[in-house]
Homo-oligomer: A and B are copies of this chain.
Amino acid sequence: MKVAITSGKAEGPTKLNAFDNALLDAGIGDVNLIKVSSIIPAHTQIVELTKLTPGDMINCVLSYKSSNNPGDLISAAIAVATSSDFGCVIEHGGINEEPENIRKEAISMAKYMMEVRKLEIKELIVEEINHEVIDLGAVVASLVYLGD
């Protein structure tokens, strides 16, 4: 399996459009996203996000936050822990929380998932995005399953 990690942020005229714009900013706006929970198979390669075919059905772990309160700080994060066997993925986010805390909590949750599975962490990657809302903003962070 190949997976890519990405994130995006945007403003928009409606909540749905801001979300859509953030997906476009993340490079995953032109596909059909199917939300899944939270494991990457053994021998998964983490690669750069490639150009996806519009309309494809794409499995992903997705973190999403939006706000229409100007000045709000919105955050989305994905943490991925790999091992010599399979790995774990965490989605996390917040509104008006310290980005550093969001990051720490995401890492801590991913570490805990590996611990309870007795998997030794080989690599731990966090993708995090923050956005200060102007009018109506959205952030997304995602791990995208790209197939073999």
Interface residues of A in 1-53 (CB under 8 A from B): 1, 12-14, 16-17, 20-21, 23-24, 29-42, 44, 53
* Contact call B30/A39, Cβ cutoff below 8 A: yes
Q: In the complex, A58 Cα to B60 Cα: how many Å?
A: 13
Identical chains bound together, number: 3
Q: Most chain-B Cβ atoms within 10 A of its Cβ — which of A17, A32, A36, A85?
A: A32
A-B contact pairs, 12 of them (CB 8 A): A13-B112, A16-B90, A16-B109, A17-B113, A20-B38, A30-B39, A31-B39, A32-B145, A35-B35, A36-B57, A41-B53, A41-B54
Contacts of A41 in B (CB 8 A): 53-56
A13 to B113, CA, bound (A): 11
Chain B residues contacting A68 (CB-CB under 8 Å) are none
How far, in whole Å, are A113 and B14 apart by their CA atoms in the complex?
A: 11
Which one of A13, A24, A54, A105 has the greatest number of beta carbons of chain B within 10 Å? A54
* A112-B17 in contact (CB<8A): yes
Q: Which residues of B contact A105 (CB under 8 A)?
A: 14
A59-B32 in contact given A16-B90, A21-B116 (Cβ < 8 Å): yes
A117 touches B (CB below 8 Å)? yes
